[in-house]
Amino acid sequence: VRVALAGKGGAGKTTLTATMARLLARRGHEVVALDADSNPNLAAALGLPGHDVPWLPAGIVSRRLDGGPRLREPVDDLVGRCASSGPDGIRLLAMGEPAHAEAGCLCSAHATVRALLADLGARPATMTLVDLEASPEHLSRGTARHADVMLLVTEPYFRSLETVRRLALLAAELPIPVVGVVVNKVRSAADHQAVDEFCARHALRWLGDVPWSDEVGEADRRRQALVDVAPGGSVVTAVDDLVAAVLALGATVPAGGDA
Ligand SMILES: Nc1ncnc2c1ncn2[C@@H]1O[C@H](COP(=O)(O)OP(=O)(O)OP(=O)(O)O)[C@@H](O)[C@H]1O
Ligand SMILES: [Mg+2]
């Protein structure tokens, strides 16, 4: 099952991707974590600080006439060859970042992520967690088109919600079976209420709330994963509920999804 997290800058995509990945791995799932942000920091959030995660190499994708880019080699071989090992047995892959100023666009890096996600459809038992960029480019390019579940991460304030509304409209043009909203940094019942009303007004599917907590900043300052710093804390507990909800949703997605 391929789960992609999108949303406004700073909404909490990386924190939630990493925490979900760790919790899924601890539940016994095989987990591939994919950093699809050209400003990568999923490794640190997973608990791999200071590690230079090798980028996915160039030239691993072939463009097919029927349905866009696909990998040139079996996906298992690529993951075996290119993934870094993270805590709890997580396999981490990274799209990469611009190597130099004025080096040009990242089209091929986006195509690589798209192809990898497409081919991971052949591994429905693998939980793939994709940390996307804040820009809606992953939707306009179709980088995330092969996700089975897209989580739109929002903070409980209007501009963040507006971003999620726009992303949801774009996602609806792709064959992503489940698109839902996750509210992060919730501080009050009023926060929840405001989001609830927004979702109802715009026919958005609410999937869960994650509370605001100092633990997240504390983990960041310690350069440790949140699950290692506050395993029984309010955020990890809420994310574990989210994991359970996503697993239930994933079970409803046809095997292979939109491969
Ligand atoms: N539940 C939370 N409670 C408190 N702080 C949080 C919470 N979730 C995330 N944060 C903080 O919000 C900031 C942004 O989090 P994060 O990097 O996960 O967001 P992002 O959506 O991945 O950002 P970007 O768009 O830059 O990739 C960080 O400082 C993080 O510590
Ligand atoms: Mg991020």
Which comes out higher in pLDDT, residue 132 or 106? 132
Distance CA 219, CA 84 (A): 22
Distance 13 CA to ligand 1 centre (A): 7
Q: With a 6 A CB cut-off, is 209 part of the ligand 1 pocket?
A: no
pTM equals 0.95
Distance 57 CA to ligand 2 centre (A): 21
58-72, 85-99, 139-153, 169-183: least confidently modelled range:
58-72
Q: With a 6 A CB cut-off, is 19 part of the ligand 1 pocket?
A: no
Distance CA 145, CA 257 (A): 11
pLDDT higher than threshold 60 for residue 118: yes
- Closest ligand (CA of 12): 1
What rounded mean pLDDT belongs to the chain? 92
Percentage of the residues of the chain whose pLDDT score is greater than 70: 97
Tens digit of each residue's pLDDT (9 = 90 or more) over 198-215: 999 999 999 999 999 999
pLDDT higher than threshold 90 for residue 52: no
Distance 41 CA to ligand 2 centre (A): 6
Q: How many CB atoms lie within 10 A of CB 50?
A: 7
Tens digit of each residue's pLDDT (9 = 90 or more) over 233-245: 999 999 999 999 9
pLDDT tier at 28, thresholds 50, 70, 90: very high
pLDDT tier at 105, thresholds 50, 70, 90: confident
Q: Contact, 94 vs 35, CB < 8 A? A: yes
Are β-strands 2-7 and 91-94 bridged in parallel, bridged antiparallel, or unpaired? Answer: unpaired
Looking from the CA of 127 toward its CB, the CA atoms found within 13 Å total 24
Token pair listed for 84: 């870094």
pLDDT higher than threshold 90 for residue 255: no
Name the β-bridge partners of 17. none
Q: What is the pLDDT of residue 233?
A: 98
Percentage of the residues of the chain whose pLDDT score is greater than 90: 76
Q: With a 6 A CB cut-off, is 213 part of the ligand 1 pocket?
A: yes
